[in-house]
Copies of this chain bind each other. A is one copy, B any other.
Amino acid sequence: MHVMILGAAGMIGRKLVEKIAREPEALGGAISRLTLVDAFQPPVPEPLQSVSTGLTIDLAEAGIAEKLIGTRPDLIFHLAAIVSGEAEADFDKGYAVNLDGTRALFDAIRRQGLKSAYVPRVIFASSIAVFGTPFPEVIPDEFFTTPLTSYGTQKAIVELLLADYSRRGIFDGIGIRLPTICVRPGMPNKAASGFFSNILREPLAGRQAVLPVNDGVRHWFASPRSAVGFFVHAATLDTAKVGPRRNLTMPGLSALVSEEIEALRRVAGDRAVALIRREPDPVIERIVAGWPTQFDAGRASSLGFKAETSFDEILRVHIEDELGGRIA
């Protein structure tokens, strides 16, 4: 099986590659070829080096999709994107990469299939940014997508294309609407959602973190390990069971900031909690107020997608996967 990962140098891309390195049969069969694509140099773990090719390219470049698909990968993970803030600030770049780059990829698959039979599985990283406020308390699977960012618009458009191309048998697609990933590893970043991870990751490492919203803010989470699990599960899923509605809101944990903090207290004590500095930021509070807080992800759950059910579990995953099982 030839597997291609677009966005292989990103957080989830790297973890997906590591998962395949640890469990070579995770995607349902032996991997004869692994193509790792990103705008940045994608790391290749030792056990996969003999079958892997790393490509540092810009997906928006003319002819790139044709070249990539010319190698006829059987399974394509499309995780590459201009992120929300940048797609909002740079209209042309966001549409060029997130929409046109992806459509070029889909059309290259179509043209490849016109030459000779070719129907790869395509798994696309979508986002709960396809939804825009106001919301019901629990957002059902059949809720409409009215994004309030260009990023969310681009994701929602690709979802529609993915469903239409799948319906026409051009490829066999699944769209994965990711919850907010928590605990994000790495350095604190300036994303408005960063604090959800910062207030856990930093205190666990003995460092201070800023909480810019009040404890009563509710949001929708899954761990990086669950996110990788979603993509792996989508790779082997019987898509006949999915039918024509190919875009799935992933299961997640709906939790309050206060529940994050209490989970941190149980795991690392009052000393860790004391490292959270409350500095209310009206701008971030306003942004966060427009985000979804809870989904009924019944369809994805019934198809076997799984996420954490408590913040204790999310913290345990972080400690196991990022901290070698130990807290500072």
Contact = CB atoms under 8 A, between A and B. Distances in A.
Contact of A144 (B91, B142, B167, B168): B142
Interface in A113-151: 132, 142-148, 150
A167 B148 contact: yes
Interface string A295-316: 0000000000000000000000
Interface in A161-189: 161, 163-164, 167-168
Contact of A160 (B91, B153, B244): B153
Given A132-B244, A244-B132, A164 B150 contact: yes
**Max chain B C-beta neighbours (<10 A), residue from A148, A164, A244:** A164
A163 B153 contact: yes
Nearest to A158: B157
Contacts of A163: 146-147, 153
A207 interface: no
A266 interface: no
A245 B150 contact: no
A317 B233 CA distance: 55
Interface string A196-226: 0000000000000000000000000000000
Interface string A242-276: 00110000000000000000000000000000000
A156 interface: yes
Nearest to A139: B142
A264 to B, nearest CB: 36
Interface string A28-58: 0000000000000000000000000000000
A138 to B, nearest CB: 13
Contacts of A156: 160
A237 to B, nearest CB: 18
B145 A160 contact: yes
Nearest to A155: B160
Contact of A244 (B143, B148, B150, B244): B148
A160 B147 contact: yes
Contacts of A146: 163, 244-245
Interface of A: 91, 110, 132, 142-148, 150, 153, 156-157, 160-161, 163-164, 167-168, 244-245
Given A145-B160, A148-B244, A153-B160, 18 more contacts: A91-B168, A132-B244, A132-B245, A142-B143, A143-B144, A144-B145, A146-B163, A146-B245, A147-B160, A147-B163, A153-B161, A153-B163, A153-B164, A156-B160, A157-B157, A157-B160, A157-B161, A160-B160
